[in-house]
């Protein structure tokens, strides 16, 4: 038979304190004298003690468990954000239960939230790039503190944390305008995504503010294949713009490849800017100018806001700023 792991009584005996003191070190360490606290922590390490979270939940009615709604590994931005939340949660003493959505329909979201409730999560972070996901999350999260990681301000009663996507679109477009481009096309992401719509607003605002014509944007699906198709269509039309602001780096990579295959020089003839700063785009040919998002900071901020919501704080809307990374894909 396996030996039982050491419990609080064993820690208390080794440290020469009561088991109540050990409990206070675990739950309210600031209430314990530093010397006593250090002795208890040393005893825990020596014995290899780890707290029983299930038992703690019975006593405190707190599970230290958070739910995270995820759109799956296919999309770089949401995946990176979930990673940032998980790291920040672990540092704050929480565990995460991540649920990935596949179809984004009502039944799937309802089942996922039921699972979170059954597991006793204290709060839920919804990485909700699609409008439908955010709408369903608002409906089924009643009674559970929630933070939406989305550029959505439609419900002031719900906390939101996001990168300022509209600002990112402006930064990308204004950079090309400052370099002499006068016809800047936008290869946008799917328009049922908050981020895609906000980036398009930034592109449009930059053109309007300088009195330039707003071209009809082309909609892709975030994939390099859709970028390649858009680039091929541009090359075949013979009506090339001065620059293209792509809604993400994957579409930018496909677009540049199509233009190169058609003999169109980037950036000599067409400047290109992406979004996200994917790993490796600094080493593409040409190195891609792009808008970087602070995903680690975004995850940490989402966790902070969610913990505050669990504690009863009022709803807030937090926005982080993206950063333009200038490389060689703009002339």
pLDDT bucket at 311, cuts 50 / 70 / 90: confident
Residue 26's nearest CA partner among 65, 56, 48, 46 is: 56
**Res. 20: pLDDT tops 90:** no
Region 266-292 average pLDDT: 96
The string of pLDDT tens digits covering residues 122-178 is 899 998 778 888 888 878 777 788 999 987 777 787 899 999 999 999 999 999 999
What's CA 94's distance to the chain center, in Å?
Answer: 18
Residue 157: C-alpha distances to residues 101, 142, 195, 229 (Å)? 24, 12, 21, 41
What does DSSP say about strands 159-163 and 146-148: parallel, antiparallel, or unpaired?
parallel
Residue 324: C-alpha distances to residues 79, 90, 173, 292 (Å)? 21, 30, 10, 6
- Tell me what pLDDT residue 51 has: 57
Lowest-confidence segment of 71-75, 141-145, 316-320, 321-325 by average pLDDT: 71-75
**Res. 73: pLDDT tops 60:** yes
163 touches 293 (CB < 8 A): yes
pLDDT bucket at 317, cuts 50 / 70 / 90: very high
Q: 13 or 6: which carries more pLDDT confidence?
A: 13
Torsion of CA 282, 298, 115, 57, to 10 degrees: 130
What gap in Å lies between CA 183 and CA 163, rounded to an integer? 27
The string of pLDDT tens digits covering residues 191-229 is 989 999 999 999 999 999 999 999 889 999 999 999 999
pLDDT bucket at 36, cuts 50 / 70 / 90: very high
For residue 152, give the DSSP letter: -
Contacts of 14 (CB under 8 A, 6+ apart): 43, 46, 47
- Tell me what pLDDT residue 2 has: 47
Residue 81's nearest CA partner among 306, 287, 308 is: 306
Residue 161's nearest CA partner among 262, 309, 12 is: 309
**C-alpha atoms less than 13 angstroms from C-alpha of 123 in its C-beta half-sphere:** 23
Region 38-66 average pLDDT: 69
Could you count the other beta carbons within 10 Å of the beta carbon of residue 139?
12
| pTM > 0.85 | no
């Amino acid at each position: 038979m396996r030996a039982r792991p050491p419990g609080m009584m064993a820690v208390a005996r080794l440290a020469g304190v009561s088991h109540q003191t050990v409990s206070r070190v675990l739950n309210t360490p600031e209430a314990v004298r530093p010397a006593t606290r250090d002795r208890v922590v040393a005893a825990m390490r020596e014995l290899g003690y780890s707290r029983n979270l299930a038992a703690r939940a019975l006593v405190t009615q707190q599970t230290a468990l958070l739910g995270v709604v995820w759109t799956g590994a296919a999309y770089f931005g949401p995946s990176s954000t979930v990673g940032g939340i998980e790291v920040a949660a672990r540092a704050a003493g929480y565990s995460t239960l991540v649920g990935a959505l596949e179809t984004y329909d009502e039944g799937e979201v309802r089942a996922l939230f039921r699972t979170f409730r059954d597991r006793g999560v204290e709060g839920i972070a919804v990485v909700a790039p699609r409008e439908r996901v955010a709408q369903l999350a608002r409906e089924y999260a009643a009674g559970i503190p929630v933070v939406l990681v989305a550029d959505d301000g439609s419900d002031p009663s719900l906390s939101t944390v996001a990168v300022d996507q509209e600002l990112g679109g402006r930064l990308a477009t204004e950079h090309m305008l400052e370099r002499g481009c006068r016809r800047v096309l936008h290869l946008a992401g799917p328009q049922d995504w908050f981020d895609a719509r906000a980036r398009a607003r930034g592109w449009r605002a930059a053109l309007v503010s300088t009195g330039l014509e707003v071209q009809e944007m082309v909609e892709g699906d975030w994939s390099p294949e859709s970028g390649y198709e858009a680039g091929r269509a541009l090359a075949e039309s013979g009506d090339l713009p001065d620059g293209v602001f792509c809604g993400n780096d994957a579409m930018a990579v496909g677009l540049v490849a199509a233009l190169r295959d058609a003999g169109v020089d980037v950036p000599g003839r067409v400047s290109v800017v992406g979004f996200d700063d994917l790993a490796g785009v600094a080493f593409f040919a040409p190195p891609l100018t792009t808008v970087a998002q602070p995903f680690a900071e975004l995850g940490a901020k989402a966790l902070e806001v969610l913990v505050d919501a669990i504690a009863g704080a009022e709803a807030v809307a937090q926005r982080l700023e993206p950063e333009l990374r200038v490389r060689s894909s703009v002339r």
